[in-house]
Chains A and B, each alone.
Chain A
Amino acid sequence: MEQDIFQAIYNQYYPVVFRLCLGYFKGDMELAADMVQEVFIRVWEKHDEFRNESQVNTWIYRIAVNCCLTEIRRKKSYETRIQTYIQPEGDSAEKQQHDQEILHQCIAQLDEPDRLLVLLMLEDLPHQEIAKVLGLTEVNTRVKVHRLKEKLRKNYQNNLNNAQ
């Protein structure tokens, strides 16, 4: 039964967690995959506590964000690898849509707290839930989200212009 619950959580949240980790690690697929594994190992360790919990969503996001924050400890070892956005190589690069690449570049330019917040915004989480994940007040969250939307929009336009 517990295995079934974990299986369901894993299947449902794998893409979401992967996107979040990919954004956090500025497009580095390898680091993102390692982090996704770490996140789900931590989820497994706690999965018995998910029973009777209505907001699994919030828990998963909290674990994912906190795992990324824990990685600050090993920042030195990976920061040289991911100074800037890493464009995927090979076939995937050809298939990658241009606007997605620009978006990844914009995210990579943000500092860690803003990057995490933007990644939650891009998952279309309501303000209330972002506030619960990050432990902010709703008012503070709303202000930050508004500010970041504007910043992201400007960066997006700049990067778009530079790319042309």
Chain B
Amino acid sequence: MNEFDNMISGWKNQTIPASANKANEIANLARKRLKDTQRKHVATIAVLGTTLLVLVGFALYTGGKSSLFVAGIGLMIAALGVRIAVEWWSSVQLKKLNIREDSTNYLKQLTGFYQTRKKIHGMFTVITFGLYVAGFGMLLPLFRASLSSGFFTYIIVSGILIFGVLIYYIRKKINEELRNLTLTLNDLSSISESFGD
């Protein structure tokens, strides 16, 4: 036996703690996670979808014919619609990651996935959110003309507050996510290089 064979023997003979879970418990955990993931995914789409439906319903109900109204509500609907589509597409991409692939290919898939996430979390989110706010802003003159001054003031104040909180939260999350994604991509890149050299 050479030195490396001794290492192998020592490695394989180390004491392994008994499994905390039985196979059927792991299977149950897997089933639960599958359900939770599907539920979470449906919930996200449902929240965004409901907002979209409310906007579409509002547009149809008011039946505004002015070009400003069509442009404003159109921008809001389009921004939200694109966001839902991207969320759905991203979850499809995540499902496509094939954990059974060899590690070199898996790393390529993982890197591609994170690069896309980086794009989504970067300018894309800023642009869609900006379009949504711009659409809302275009509707304000119409609100002022058709609503009481009290209600209009309420819309302005609540709008500023909501968008302010959202901008702060989104900005914080984007910066955090982009920092993590950059670190992850750097690590994956050095691992890929090391596998490939």
Contacts and interface: CB of A to CB of B under 8 A. Distances in A.
A3 B191 contact: no
A34 to B, nearest CB: 10
A67 interface: yes
B191 A69 contact: yes
Interface of B: 3-4, 6-8, 10-17, 19-21, 23-24, 26-27, 29-30, 33-34, 99-107, 110, 114, 180, 183-184, 187-188, 191, 194-195
Contact of A62 (B4, B12, B34, B103): B103
A153 to B, nearest CB: 6
Nearest 10 CB-CB pairs, A to B?
Answer: A135-B102, A135-B104, A113-B194, A10-B23, A44-B30, A122-B11, A7-B23, A41-B30, A66-B106, A134-B103
A48 B174 CA distance: 38
Interface of A: 3, 6-7, 10-11, 14-15, 18-19, 29, 33, 36-37, 40-42, 44-46, 49, 59, 62-63, 65-67, 69-70, 72-73, 75-76, 92, 95-97, 99-100, 103, 111-114, 116, 121-124, 132-136, 149, 152-153, 156
B188 A63 contact: no
Which of B17, B34, B114, B187: most chain A CB closer than 10 A? B17
A116 B192 CA distance: 13
A76 B194 CA distance: 21
A62 B102 contact: yes
B114 to A, nearest CB: 8
Contacts of B114: 73
Nearest to A116: B103
A118 to B, nearest CB: 9
If over half of A's interface residues share one DSSP class (helix, strand or loop), that class is named, otherwise mixed; here it is helix
B183 A76 contact: yes
22 contacts: A6-B26, A6-B27, A10-B26, A18-B17, A19-B11, A33-B20, A37-B20, A45-B30, A62-B106, A65-B103, A69-B110, A69-B188, A72-B187, A75-B187, A100-B10, A100-B13, A112-B194, A122-B7, A123-B12, A134-B103, A135-B195, A136-B104
B11 A37 contact: no
Contacts of B10: 97, 99-100, 103
B184 A40 contact: no
B191 A133 contact: no
B188 A133 contact: no
A39 to B, nearest CB: 9
B100 A69 contact: no
Given A103-B7, A103-B10, A63 B26 contact: no
